[in-house]
Amino acid sequence: MKLLALDASTEFLSLAVCLDDKLYRHDQHAGQTASQLILPQIHNLLDSAKLDLADLDGIAFGAGPGSFTGVRIACGVAQGLAFGANIPVVGVNVLLALAHASGAEKVIAASDARMREVYHAAYEKKGDEWLEVHAAGVYKPNEVPKVEGSGWTGVGTAWKVYDEVLSQQYQQNVVNKLPENTPMAEAIMAIAKPIFAAGLAKPASEAKPIYIRNRVALTSKERAQGLRL
């Protein structure tokens, strides 16, 4: 299977191309430059794999939740490339990608959502499948949903930004934390592969971001305070 996977939902740009068992990756801290870097780096990876865009079986992308601009970049690029090559797409929840890449089986994925909030979801792995304990949502750090039992791993940037509050909320549950982890294209690809294999990928026209926050703009006062969406 020949696939392209991409994510720009955080400040990190993550790209991957798989050619059967070979994987070609590009990961970098892109900040505000993701829109400028993403297409040239995709073409570099395809060149490394000696593939044309039309050779791909599909494109997987980090659909969110995450940076409003970054999620739109990933979705727009995936959709545009897929339209041009007439190939299908799979949008992957980046919180699930965080869980998958953690290596743990019980995961509380939480990323910094700005605005003093966190994107949050909880997953438990049963066999080869991930079960959704709490669906993706946006919360104040002190209002995140409870989980049952111990042995949970906290993954994502919110565990760095709001460690004290989240640790208090989950003091009886969490035994390990991976606060530096960000969504990686390799994990997005791994989640998407069986969807492509099952013929459940969608046409490019149906590529959509995952938005769980209704607000898409800040007031002038909030901008002056240095808040970001």
Per-residue pLDDT of 109-136, as tens digits, reads 999 999 999 999 999 999 999 999 999 9
- Say if 2-93+183-224 and 96-178 have the same CATH topology: yes
At residue 217 the predicted structure's pLDDT band, cuts being 50, 70 and 90, is: very low
At residue 186 the predicted structure's pLDDT band, cuts being 50, 70 and 90, is: very high
The CATH topology of domain 2-93+183-224 is Nucleotidyltransferase; domain 5 (3.30.420)
- 92's tokens: 């992957």
**Average confidence (pLDDT) over 82-90:** 97
DSSP 169: H
Sheet of 58-64: strands edge to edge? 22-29, 12-19, 2-7, 58-64, 89-93
Which CATH number fits the domain 96-178, given the four candidates 3.30.420.40, 3.40.50.1970, 2.70.50.60, 1.10.1660.10? 3.30.420.40
- 106's tokens: 């019980």
On whether the pTM is more than 0.75, the answer is: yes
> Angle at Cα 204 formed by Cα 201 and Cα 207, nearest 5°?
80
Segments making up each domain of the chain, as ranges: 2-93+183-224, 96-178
Question: What pLDDT was estimated at residue 215?
Answer: 47
